[in-house]
Structure 1
């Protein structure tokens, strides 16, 4: 499952995480490329990952290429995109994207390395802003991990994420059995009742 397959992605809505951007997808696309410097992705891959149409991904890539923020390489009919990191704006832009849209690529990458993590979801204020709810910029990131992962491994992942994202990261672990039988648990009922964003660990592990 890719990050946004479970939701409708309104590419015309303004970004709640970084209002300077024209759309949430623009932030997602830029964050993914700048937080994976040197890696290349096709427009098809990015469209699938973020749940938008191929034409939408291609148009956004065109805009960002023309603006000099990303660059492309063509091999046959395949158009590969990557961040343009040799510009004066690359470092500050990377830092800005890390603290806004960065939790998706950063936390997905870190948790994919932790054994016995079955699934993970961001919840709380960051997830609410990501899903389009108005409000203040989140000061921390709340993550629910389902699995039998070692608490020390999760602690280390959270501290590394904090260093890369520039804000507090809180990881709460529940067993698969507890997650499946969450009825009556006030905390899990609260998590389920509010916006959440699943992390694509399987994609990172491939």
Structure 2
């Protein structure tokens, strides 16, 4: 399987605005430069549904949402959605007895299709603080590798942050850290070989 495809290397931010009943559909999605904007009517679609639909729509086009930014929403809710989106998680405020504390639940055989479930009425700032541990409990292998990537970013002094961010997204998407690292090493070896060949002096027959 080829992991480093052009589509997987293309990530975007998704900005969410609250609309009203005058818009044609419950949720609208449009492109704005290098980002996407979704506008939803809260009377016809919940915030969580609007975000999920936008992510699914973009995913079907080979586009990964690396960051969800709520515009004009509660600051704690905005911070929570942004942090969860960086882990490719949806957020659901759950009512009823099925959720007693914040937890990441993988809802299908695909581990990347996961949701951060938060009991209704739970303090959102507390839920944000619990997110790393909840994610690690649901996807421990990926969580360990993300920590290593963050450490590598610190040790590199920010020189290769973008490349490491791409690696992190690929690890999250594929659930295959070893496969991602193998392909990255192959790519680096190929680039190094091409540069060495190009720099070598031409031989005279």
Return the TM-score normalized by structure 2. Answer: 0.31
* Higher alpha-carbon Rg: 2
What TM-score, normalized to structure 1? Answer: 0.31
